[in-house]
């Protein structure tokens, strides 16, 4: 029970929970924009940008338990830019590779990849810079 408690209270699990909420916002925005025939990269960018603010507010308070500061915002903002670039490259490439399976399937595959890969990259960087206050 102690290991389960430790896992549930880890900053990774809390960060994952915050990211899941931001992901719902992101995917919802992208899905709606795609249905309005907006380009996949533009739709993805809009979703990622809006979900960045959701993630920032939730993660500072819940996952990393730190207060807003210029340093914290800078870490989030620069990792956000890195994540946005990664996400847009991944979604465009994978969408073009999977469109032959239909738009819905291509969206699900490409958006999943565009969420998962940047998630781990940003978590590792944010954890290093937010928890090691040197």
Q: Which tens digit of pLDDT belongs to each residue from 75-107?
A: 888 988 999 999 999 999 999 999 999 989 999
**Distance between CA atoms of 60 and 83, rounded to whole angstroms?**
17
pLDDT at 6: 67
Confidence band of 7 (pLDDT split at 50, 70, 90): low
How many helical (H) and strand (E) elements, i.e. helices and strands, does the chain have? 5, 0
pLDDT at 27: 93
pLDDT at 133 over 60: no
Q: What is the pLDDT of residues 101-112, one digit of tens each?
A: 998 999 999 999
Mean pLDDT of the chain: 86
pLDDT at 85: 95
CA 17 to chain centre: 11
Confidence band of 126 (pLDDT split at 50, 70, 90): confident
pTM: 0.74
**Distance between CA atoms of 62 and 54, rounded to whole angstroms?**
12
């Amino acid at each position: 029970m102690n290991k389960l408690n430790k896992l549930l209270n880890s900053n990774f699990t809390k960060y994952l929970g915050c990211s899941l909420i931001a992901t719902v916002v992101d995917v919802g925005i992208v899905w709606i924009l795609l249905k309005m025939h907006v380009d996949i990269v533009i739709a993805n960018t809009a979703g990622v940008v809006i979900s960045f603010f959701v993630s920032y507010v939730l993660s500072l308070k819940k996952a990393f338990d730190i207060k807003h500061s210029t340093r914290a915002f800078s870490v989030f903002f620069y990792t956000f830019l890195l994540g946005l670039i990664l996400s847009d490259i991944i979604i465009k490439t994978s969408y073009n590779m999977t469109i032959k399976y239909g738009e819905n399937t291509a969206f699900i595959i490409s958006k999943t990849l565009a969420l998962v890969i940047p998630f781990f990259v940003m978590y590792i960087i944010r954890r290093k810079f937010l928890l090691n206050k040197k």
